[in-house]
Amino acid sequence: MADIVDTSKFYPGMKLKWQDGLWEVVDCQHHMKGRGGAVLKCKLRNLDTGSISENSFVSGNDKFERIVFDEKPAQYSYKDGDHYVFMDMESYEEVYLTKEALGPALNYLTDNLEVSLDMYEGKVMGITLPNSVVLKIVDTQPNFKGDTAAGGGKPATMETGLVITVPMFVMNGESVVVDTRTGEYVERVKK
């Protein structure tokens, strides 16, 4: 039996069937109109092509079939040309995925990272990351006199190319915990 949801139940990361394809909700925001109902402005990513579509839906009116993937444990191994190779932890087979299938998860891939393969009708549609990962800072500005720990942050480029905001006291070469759901700094890794 299909799990039918309306747009009022959308959340980032939800997968659904729409326009004869499988899509992931990337972002959605409610906008209230003066006298009418709310409109939901959504960014959806096609799981086959990686393309992004921005659409507006009347909140609560449109119905969609929510997709629930079967998950298989896997480990990221290496990049091979245009493909990213994962090892299925149950069968030890190699699974090749494109950057389109991985989408924003590419920003968090490090050697030997354990993930879940998202399976739908026997086909790998993408991966589910752990809620947080440890990444090494490769480029950030040094501290300077007058910086305060509570006074905001500075941009830092991670080993994967992801740029996040970190506290002023964090330096090049240090490792930090990053939330994969929000892309935000969590804490510095203690040595």
For 132-188, which CATH class? mainly beta
**Domain range summary for the chain, segments of one domain joined by +:** 3-66, 70-128, 132-188
- The pTM of the full predicted model, rounded to 2 decimals, is 0.76
Extract the tokens encoding 115.
Answer: 């993930």
Q: For residue 69, name the pLDDT band (cuts at 50, 70, 90).
A: confident
Q: Which residues contact 131 (CB under 8 A, 6 or more apart)?
A: 179, 180, 181
**Per-residue pLDDT tens digits for 10-38:** 888 888 888 888 888 888 888 777 776 77
CATH fold of 70-128 reads OB fold (Dihydrolipoamide Acetyltransferase, E2P) (2.40.50)
Between CA 163 and CA 92, with CA 125 as vertex, the angle to 5 degrees is 95
pLDDT at 148: 56
Q: Does 70-128 match 132-188 in CATH topology?
A: yes
Average per-residue pLDDT for the chain: 87
Edge-first strand listing for the sheet containing 175-179: 163-166, 154-158, 132-140, 175-179, 184-188
Fold observed for domain 3-66: SH3 type barrels. (2.30.30)
Residue 1 has a pLDDT of 45
107-150 tens-digit pLDDT: 999 999 999 999 988 888 889 999 999 999 999 988 755 555 55
